[in-house]
Amino acid sequence: MLDHRGGPDHGDPTGELCEGLIPCGSNAMLIVDDTVSPPVVYKQAFYWHMAHVSRWAPRGSVVVDVALSVGAGGAPAPDWLLATALLTPDGGTTLVLLNAGNASVPVCVQDAAAGGSVPGSVLPPHSIQTWRW
């Protein structure tokens, strides 16, 4: 949680990183405006992303490797396309996809462990989707 100025900042000499891990203010889940009474809490996009992932990752889930590629040739995926895959305690698989880009992305999922694929879909720009099988 950061204040309305994006602080506190904890000692990075460049002023770019908080605790040496994340860019200050960019990944805060909550921002508090304490200049008003009572203070106002603003939920940022990262808050909603974490809430979404948490809903589909029950206790005991295990994160598994995901390889992203685009096109028939398997070109590397752009930085703005992210994925997390989990094996859940009930034996299912959960895949969370985030398209932070400005264009829709066609998606086809191949599950090497299950030996099959999930039918394709389109991931709209600035969206998050969860697939479960």
Tens of pLDDT along the chain (133 residues) come to 666 666 665 555 555 555 444 444 455 778 888 889 998 888 877 788 788 888 888 999 999 988 887 766 677 778 888 899 999 999 999 999 989 899 998 888 888 777 777 777 889 999 999 988 8
d(CA 32, CA 45): 14
Task: Give 35-60 as a DSSP string.
Answer: TSSS-EEEE-HHHHHHHHHHHH--TT
Rg (CA), the chain: 18
Q: What is the pTM of this model?
A: 0.68
Residues 6 or more apart whose CB falls under 8 angstroms from that of 19 comprise 10, 12
Query: Where are the CATH 2.60.40 domain residues in the chain?
Result: 47-132
The yes/no answer on whether domain 47-132 falls in CATH 2.60.120 is: no
What's the angle, vertex CA 55, arms to CA 24 and CA 69, rounded to 5? 70
